[in-house]
Amino acid sequence: MLFDLAFLMGLTSMVPKFVPDAHQGQSQAIIAPPTQYTQMQTQCGASGIASCQNTSVVENLCCFEAPGGLLLQTQFWDTSPATGPSESWTIHGLWPDKCDLTYVENCDSSRAYTDIAGLLTDQGASDTLEFMQQYWVNDPDDGSDEEFWEHEWETHGTCYSTLQPSCLPDGSPTGAEAVVFFNTVVKLFQTLPTYTWLANHEIIPSSSATHNLDSLISALQAESGYIPALDCKGTTMDSVSWYFNLQGSLVDGTFVPIDAPKKGNCRSSGIRYLPKGAAE
């Protein structure tokens, strides 16, 4: 098997890296500091052609994410009811869209794991779980956090080609690929501090202020180097999507940030960025 010698789970801290490229002068170094997260390693490497950037067929889909090679790290700004810390956006998920912006979901019901919290704890990812309990939280009207995590895994996580169990090192425990998924989403989210990036441009939640889409996007682009997609409910901003291609495997590859290939649904002006928990 390809990965016999690479089963170094627990010995490495290899996780996908977010490496801004040089095409934007003001791009910040936003690689997260090392953390205690440990994760397995493949022999894919973290370089090579990025997903959706190939010009011929790539055969080994353990090391090349396809067909869902357009990754969106989606975040919520939930104000009513408010969820999560008042000075942070929260995690929605990491979605593998196809390169043409269509997508597939629910790719393997046999891997629709339950008790994600137990899975993470059992496989040494309780630090990831603790972070999720603060930053990957459900709207209480929609259900529990656990239900949200199960939904995100089953709906989106099971569609990653590079997380097929056969792509993992021999001997990996059942559910190890879901543990990789949650570790990776948390780690990537930590490199995308949307709240702080807006605050750095004096854009902070307010019950009265309104914003132009251009000024919101400009602030986020100045901080990250890339253009995200912003979504609104009515006039209220409630979601952001940060886009990536992936070099190598989701297990230990490199996230390549890209500009959003389409706009979100926010209107061009009169956008509200409401405080969490404040009366509207």
Ligand X SMILES: *[C@@H]1O[C@H](CO)[C@@H](O)[C@H](O)[C@H]1NC(C)=O
Catalytic residue among 150, 151, 154, 156: 156
55 touches ligand X (CB under 6 A): yes
By beta-carbon proximity to ligand X, the closer residue of 57 and 279 is: 57
Q: Stretches 32-40, 53-61, 196-204, 209-217: which one binds ligand X (CB under 6 A)? A: 53-61
Q: How far is the CB of 39 from ligand X (least distance, A)?
A: 25
The nearer residue to ligand X, 67 or 193, going by C-beta atoms, is 67
**Is residue 156 annotated as part of the catalytic site, yes or no?**
yes
Q: For ligand X, give the closer residue by CB, 161 or 224.
A: 161
By CB under 6 A, which span of 50-58, 126-134, 140-148, 253-261 interacts with ligand X?
Answer: 50-58
Quote the strand ranges of the chain, DSSP E: 17-18, 70-76, 90-97, 229-233, 236-247, 254-258
d(CA 216, CA 174): 43
Going by their DSSP bridges, the two strands 236-247 and 229-233 should be labelled as: antiparallel
> Which residue's CB is nearer to ligand X, number 153 or number 244?
244
Site membership for ligand X, residue 66 (CB under 6 A): yes
**Does 101 sit near ligand X (CB under 6 A)?**
no
Residue 80 makes contact with ligand X by CB under 6 A: no
Q: Which of 255, 239, 273 is nearest to 90 (CA)?
A: 239
How many CA within 13 A on the CB side of residue 265? 8
Is 64 or 148 the residue whose CB approaches ligand X more closely?
Answer: 64
- Residue 56 interacts with ligand X (CB under 6 A): yes or no: yes
**Residue tagged 């942070």 (tokens):** 88
Residue with the two structure tokens 């952001």: 240
Piece in contact with ligand X (CB under 6 A), picked from 5-13, 54-62, 101-109, 231-239 = 54-62
If the CB atoms of residues 57 and 101 are measured against ligand X, the closer one turns out to be 57
Does the protein bind ligand X through residue 58 (CB under 6 A)?
yes
Q: 65, 150, 152, 223: which is the annotated catalytic residue?
A: 152
Contact (CB, 8 A) for 53 and 47: no
Q: What is the Cα gyration radius of the chain?
A: 18
Q: Does 110 bind ligand X (CB under 6 A)?
A: no
- 23 given a catalytic annotation: no
Give Cα separations from 159 to 105, 107, 151 (angstroms): 6, 5, 13
Number of chain residues interacting with ligand X (CB under 6 A): 6
Is it true that the peptide bond before 205 is cis, omega within 30 degrees of 0? no
**What is the Cα–Cα distance from 211 to 225, expressed in whole angstroms?**
20
**243 Cα distance to chain centroid:** 9
Closest by Cα among 272, 222, 218, 208 to 77: 272
Span of 49-57, 144-152, 218-226, 233-241 interacting with ligand X by CB under 6 A: 49-57
Residue 92 known to be catalytic: yes
- Is residue 104 part of the contact set for ligand X (CB under 6 A)? no
Q: Hey, which residues are catalytic here?
A: 92, 152, 156
Contact residues toward ligand X (CB under 6 A) are 54-58, 66
